[in-house]
Amino acid sequence: MPHAAENRSLDRALTVLNVLSVHGASSLRDLHAHTHLPKSTIRRLLGTLIRHKIVRRSLNDQLYRANMNLPAFNSRFAHAEGLLADHAVDEMTALTRAVGWSCDLHLFERTRSRIIESTRPLSPYFQFERHIDLEVSVFASAGGLAVLSTWNDAAVVRLAEELADNPNFGLARSGLTKRELLAALARVRAQGYAVRADGYRSDIPLANKLHGIARPILHGDAAIGALVMLWPRGAFTPQEFALKYLSRLNDATAAISSSLAAVR
């Protein structure tokens, strides 16, 4: 009987993971609707899956997400997303509680930068809700430019040429030429942080009322994402904000990178 009970629990846990692999971010109600399992059972299974870092619950929207996908629904970014979020969330939370301003966590997916976590709900300052999984241009977003600043110029130019005809993620969306992009990245390297490209405008109007500064997060020698601190335009210029808070952002990204360095 114990063996049968263990098998049933394993089967149910795999059912929950399967739903998350197929449907993506889900609430408890969503999981109940898709699995037909009792909510108390799902809560217990989620507790076990979260403890083992197979599933996480996002700060921003409180939805459950898989840190790994079942083979039939494999995503090459699923493991990287879970790994980065797990190692970053404590540092993000501590940073926002220390300074008040929120931060977004970006996962670099080569042709785009995707927001996978945010501390906006923890900030005492109102900042409109950012939807997790929003994809932004690597040439225009502060997070994308922070990562690209770790690349050599030839690699950046190759990526710009590869995406030349992409209306959403190509260089034209940022309002920059290749020469201007390389000059912008040189400034990022010199000043130690990235800001959004001046010519970029988000499809979300309220997003254009925010400033951000970003630092890359490293896993070994490669930048896999970035941490972006946010504040309303008009409160500080990026230079003023950096003078006050860049050292704290540096400390947070260094701690996340150091934590990731221990992962093989």
Classify burial at 157, counting beta carbons within 10 Å of its beta carbon; exposed 0-12, middle 13-18, buried 19 or more: middle
Superfamily designation of domain 78-261 = GAF domain (3.30.450.40)
Which one is predicted more confidently, 63 or 199? Answer: 63
Question: pTM, whole model, 2 decimals?
Answer: 0.78
> Which helix (DSSP H) or strand (DSSP E) does residue 243 occupy?
helix 238-261
**Fold category of 2-73 in CATH:** Arc Repressor Mutant, subunit A (1.10.10)
Contact call for residues 53 and 122 (beta carbons, < 8 A):
no
**Of the candidates 113, 97, 159, which has an alpha carbon nearest to the alpha carbon of residue 105?**
113
The pLDDT tens digits for 4-31 are 555 778 888 888 887 787 677 889 998 9
Q: Where are the domain boundaries for CATH 1.10.10.10 in the chain?
A: 2-73
Q: Where are the domain boundaries for CATH 3.30.450.40 in the chain?
A: 78-261
- Which tokens sit at 223? 């930048």
If you write DSSP's letter for every residue of 195-211 in order, what string do you get? E--TT---SSGGGGGEE
